């Protein structure tokens, strides 16, 4: 796909905290091609990406599996060195000055914990206090705030391995914030969480960004995360930036649909409602697809007016579907 889907976001003005200019990461891998034969070939995990993130912005960084998201984040933390291009975070070249950068960034990986598995939560925080040489007063202030807002008081003496996934995630987010980072990278922070835990994590991140002005780069497969948190979203696929702009624009580019799932009092023929179409019927439950860029409220009102409805929910399109649609539309245009 040509990069013409990239609409400059320009949503919040301010000095850029993250800067990427033509960044590349190429891995040399050896593939087995015969009994004893292995051929060397290149994987271009990140293939010339350029973008900037101003201080204080919260940006979604999304894409299908293997798109290059984690590789980008690893370069932004200094774990990986780019093969080409220029990259700066808070003016620092991450791979050259990883330790200096570590004091200014926080990282949360949904699939892994940075906490000590066998230690009570509070012991991990004490270790971080010393590792990052956080001044005592600041450590206490940040810890108290995180404990209160992330509801950790009851959990501080519990070994990490005994925490539920949602509790562990809140514990990890607090750990990433004890040293007051200016930038927070979150890699799938809501993966595997139940609805209530997701809401807690999202609420906390929204407040953190609004009140402390922490710049946040968020990768996720859950479009609701983006919808509730980010004004701007970047889509990466095959190591390239495919889209950079507002979420509504992404839905338009992919012409994606959301689904209203309606539970009726009884089985009925497919409902007839303006600007939605029934895509599935199962007993008294019906699925109505409607354009993702539109609000669900008028549709819900129309259904409720005409039909005996007992419950409803709205399902977001998944990211893979939106991106697949972007490709399909592009190749047929």
Q: Which residues bind ligand ATP (CB under 6 A)?
A: 27, 29, 43, 45, 63, 65-71
CB of 123 to ligand ATP, least distance (A): 30
How far apart CA 246 and CA 269 sit, in angstroms, is 37
Task: Outline where 19-97 has alpha helix (H).
Answer: 69-77
Chain centre to alpha carbon of residue 278: 30
How far apart CA 245 and CA 26 sit, in angstroms, is 27
How far apart CA 333 and CA 194 sit, in angstroms, is 40
Please identify, using beta-carbon distances, which residue of 61 and 125 lies nearer to ligand ATP.
61
CB of 168 to ligand ATP, least distance (A): 19
Please identify, using beta-carbon distances, which residue of 65 and 332 lies nearer to ligand ATP.
65
Please identify, using beta-carbon distances, which residue of 101 and 235 lies nearer to ligand ATP.
235
CB of 58 to ligand ATP, least distance (A): 19
How far apart CA 331 and CA 5 sit, in angstroms, is 13
CB of 243 to ligand ATP, least distance (A): 15
* Exposure string for 278-299, b = 16+ CB within 10 A, e = fewer: beeeeebebbbbbebbeebeeb
CB of 95 to ligand ATP, least distance (A): 15
Please identify, using beta-carbon distances, which residue of 70 and 114 lies nearer to ligand ATP.
70
- Rg of the chain taking only CA atoms, in angstroms: 22
CB of 80 to ligand ATP, least distance (A): 8
3-state secondary structure of 104: coil
DSSP 8-state secondary structure symbol assigned to residue 92:
B
How far apart CA 119 and CA 117 sit, in angstroms, is 6
Please identify, using beta-carbon distances, which residue of 121 and 216 lies nearer to ligand ATP.
216
Please identify, using beta-carbon distances, which residue of 124 and 220 lies nearer to ligand ATP.
220
Q: What is the largest CA-CA distance in the chain?
A: 70
């Amino acid at each position: 796909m040509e990069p013409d889907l990239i609409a400059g976001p320009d949503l919040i003005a301010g000095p850029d905290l993250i800067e990427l200019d033509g960044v590349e990461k190429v891995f040399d891998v050896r593939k087995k091609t015969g009994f004893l034969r292995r051929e060397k070939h290149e994987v271009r995990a990140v293939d010339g990406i350029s973008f900037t993130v101003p201080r204080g912005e919260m940006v979604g960084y999304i894409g299908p599996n293997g798109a290059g998201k984690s590789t980008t984040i690893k370069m932004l933390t200094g774990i990986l060195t780019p093969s080409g291009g220029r990259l700066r975070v808070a003016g620092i070249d991450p791979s050259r000055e990883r330790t200096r950068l570590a004091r200014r960034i926080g990282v949360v990986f949904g699939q892994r914990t940075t906490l000590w598995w066998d230690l009570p939560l509070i012991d991990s925080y004490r270790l971080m206090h010393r590792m990052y040489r956080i001044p005592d007063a600041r450590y206490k202030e940040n810890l108290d705030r995180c404990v209160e807002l992330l509801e950790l008081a009851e959990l501080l003496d519990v070994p990490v391995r005994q925490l539920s996934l949602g509790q562990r995630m809140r514990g990890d987010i607090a750990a990433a914030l004890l040293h007051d980072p200016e930038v927070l990278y979150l890699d799938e922070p809501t993966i595997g969480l139940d609805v209530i835990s997701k809401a807690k994590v999202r609420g906390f991140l929204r407040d953190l960004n609004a009140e402390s002005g922490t710049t946040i780069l968020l990768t996720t497969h859950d479009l609701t995360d983006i919808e509730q948190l980010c004004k701007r979203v970047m889509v990466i696929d095959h190591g390239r930036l495919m889209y950079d702009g507002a979420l509504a624009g992404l839905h338009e580019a992919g012409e994606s649909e959301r689904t209203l799932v309606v539970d009726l009092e009884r089985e009925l023929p497919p409902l007839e409602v303006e600007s939605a179409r029934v895509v599935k019927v199962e007993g008294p439950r019906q699925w109505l697809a409607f354009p993702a860029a539109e609000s669900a409220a008028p549709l819900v009102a129309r259904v409720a007016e005409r039909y005996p409805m007992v419950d409803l929910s709205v399902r977001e399109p998944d990211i893979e579907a939106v991106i697949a649609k972007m490709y399909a539309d592009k190749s047929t245009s």
